[in-house]
Amino acid sequence: MGIGRREFLLAGTLGALGMGTAPVIAGARPRIVVVGAGYGGATFARYMKLWSPQVEVTLIEPNTRFTSCPMSNTVIGGLNRLEDITFPYRYVQAGVDRFVQDRVTGIDAARRSVTTATGRTFPYDRLVLAAGIELMHERIQGYDRVAQERIKHAWQAGPEQTGVLRRQLEAMPDGGVFVLAIPTAPLRCPPAPYERVCLVANYLKRAKPRSKIIVLDGNPDILSKKELFLAAWKKHYGYGTDNSLIDYRPNNAASAVDAKAMRVSTEFEDVTGAVINLVPPMRAAAITGLTGARTGDNGMWCPVDYPSLESTVVPNVHILGDSILSNLSKAAALANNSGKLCAYALGEIFAGRPPDPLPVIASTCYSASTERTAFHVATVFRYDPASKGMEVQPGSGVSAQENEADFRYMRGWAHNIWADTLGLPPGYRFTNRV
């Protein structure tokens, strides 16, 4: 069973990775356990089996369906529905040896075994952790479980977050204030908070024109695509004028919340809103802490050896996507491509060959500015052994300005990465309008 032409084309960065044919494994059948079926884990599991079918792959995921964080802002802004960005796991399930709907509760790195909430144990030769991020609600005073029922972060997409925040926005009276609190970097998808501002403003402009958005940004400035976001805010939402829909306040990290009073507090002020969207600080997924891999940046993120994405502190454990300590943006495209890079590297390792010492990885990220315009940034990275980091390569770039073509490309990008990650068949019927 080799990789077909369609799978090869979808891989995107394989040529840069030096992939030719699938590695052939000699000897015993290696066992891989993958924790998390998001953009990194599902992609890894699929490509591991495509390229090295002799490997036994067990994929463990607690959710019954996949809900995409990319494009979830279009749901909050009323351009798509939640079901438009939600997909079945059945195609991924068909491509691996074992798909386990369960939650991992324990990892014994010395004995190389994983335990789940239902009491099952899965031995492994290699463990791949692709569980994303952990949100640190405890860093915000008052953001307890009761407060979380009313005040949503919507940074992990799904009906209890994305869906609820959308309904809250719809129920907000005209003239109400939407408060968005952004944590300090690093965070999952740095452009996403500012895209959310755009799409919420786009909705308010049409449906609740007397309302406004207050942005409490814990960072000193807009983290990504700054000039493009500022241009969009000025052009469409009156930013910088007395009639601005957007009130942007940098260096203003949320420190406390009062869910009853619907109030967010910072070091400088208290802000009240009809709807509060509070995104807490984040770190590598909790599951990485169980292995001891979360040691970088004062125990917040996971350092890795880039050619194989193996943890630098825990042997035989590989980290994908958002949990990595890196200058790479924590983005879906990079998680997807890191899954392919790791699958290739492990195939080579199992075959007794070293993986590519100079791997290349690429990312493209789109942000919508209105219901018909968007812009993008595309970046190519190559591993530099001297710095032991991923260096930006020539040819990387960003849109000159928002445009309708990028809006159409954004939709196509979403369809392609969903299909590639989840193994959706040719002709799969996507329902999203945007």
| 159 and 216 belong to one structural domain | yes
Q: Of 326, 354, 382, which one is at a domain's C-terminal end?
A: 354
What 3-state DSSP class applies to 257? Answer: strand
The conformation of residue 24, written as its DSSP 8-state character, comes to P
Q: Of 296, 328, 354, which one is at a domain's C-terminal end?
A: 354
pLDDT digits (tens, 9 = 90+) for 183-198: 999 999 999 999 999 9
Question: What pLDDT, on a 0 to 100 scale, did the predictor assign at position 1?
Answer: 36
3 pLDDT tier (thresholds 50, 70, 90): very low
Question: What pLDDT, on a 0 to 100 scale, did the predictor assign at position 395?
Answer: 87
In angstroms, the CA 365 to CA 350 distance is 33
| 307 and 227 belong to one structural domain | no
Residue 233 lies in a domain: yes
Q: Of 258, 280, 302, which one is at a domain's C-terminal end?
A: 280
pLDDT digits (tens, 9 = 90+) for 23-37: 444 457 999 999 999
Q: The CATH number of the domain where 163 resides is what?
A: 3.50.50.60
pLDDT digits (tens, 9 = 90+) for 395-413: 899 999 999 999 999 999 9
In angstroms, the CA 179 to CA 276 distance is 5
| 252 and 125 belong to one structural domain | no
Average pLDDT over residues 243-257: 98
pLDDT digits (tens, 9 = 90+) for 270-292: 999 999 999 999 999 999 999 99
Average pLDDT over residues 249-257: 98
pLDDT digits (tens, 9 = 90+) for 311-342: 999 999 999 999 999 988 899 999 999 999 99
| 115 and 169 belong to one structural domain | no
78 pLDDT tier (thresholds 50, 70, 90): very high
pLDDT digits (tens, 9 = 90+) for 90-120: 999 999 999 999 999 999 999 999 999 999 9
> In this predicted model, which residue has the larger pLDDT, 10 or 292?
292
In angstroms, the CA 150 to CA 399 distance is 37
Query: If you average pLDDT over every residue of the chain, what do you get?
Result: 94
Token duo for residue 425: 């068949």
| 274 and 173 belong to one structural domain | yes
> Vertex 315, ends 362 and 363: CA angle to 5°?
10
In angstroms, the CA 326 to CA 154 distance is 24
Residue 179 lies in a domain: yes
C-beta of residue 266 within 8 angstroms of C-beta of residue 273: no
For residues 74-109, b (16+ Cβ closer than 10 Å) or e, as one string? bbbbbbbebebbbbebebbbebbeebbebebeebeb
| 258 and 337 belong to one structural domain | no
Question: What pLDDT, on a 0 to 100 scale, did the predictor assign at position 9?
Answer: 33
| 125 and 260 belong to one structural domain | no
- Residue ranges making up the domain that contains 37: 5-62+102-135+283-354
Q: What are phi and psi of 354, to 5 degrees?
A: -75, 145
| 109 and 160 belong to one structural domain | no
| 257 and 292 belong to one structural domain | no
C-beta of residue 249 within 8 angstroms of C-beta of residue 216: yes
Which among 87, 178, 55 has a CA at the least distance from the CA of 417? 87
* Total number of domains in the chain: 2
Dihedral (Cα; 293, 294, 295, 301), 10-degree rounding:
130
Q: What share of the chain is helix, strand, coil (3-state, %, to 5)?
A: 30, 25, 40
Question: What pLDDT, on a 0 to 100 scale, did the predictor assign at position 27?
Answer: 56
Q: Is the pLDDT of residue 14 over 90?
A: no
Instruction: Determine the residue type at 58.
Output: T
Dihedral (Cα; 189, 190, 193, 194), 10-degree rounding:
-130
In angstroms, the CA 204 to CA 170 distance is 9
Residue 314 lies in a domain: yes
Work out whether strand 98-100 and strand 104-108 pair parallel, antiparallel, or are unpaired.
unpaired
| 224 and 302 belong to one structural domain | no
Average pLDDT over residues 168-193: 98
In angstroms, the CA 239 to CA 258 distance is 28
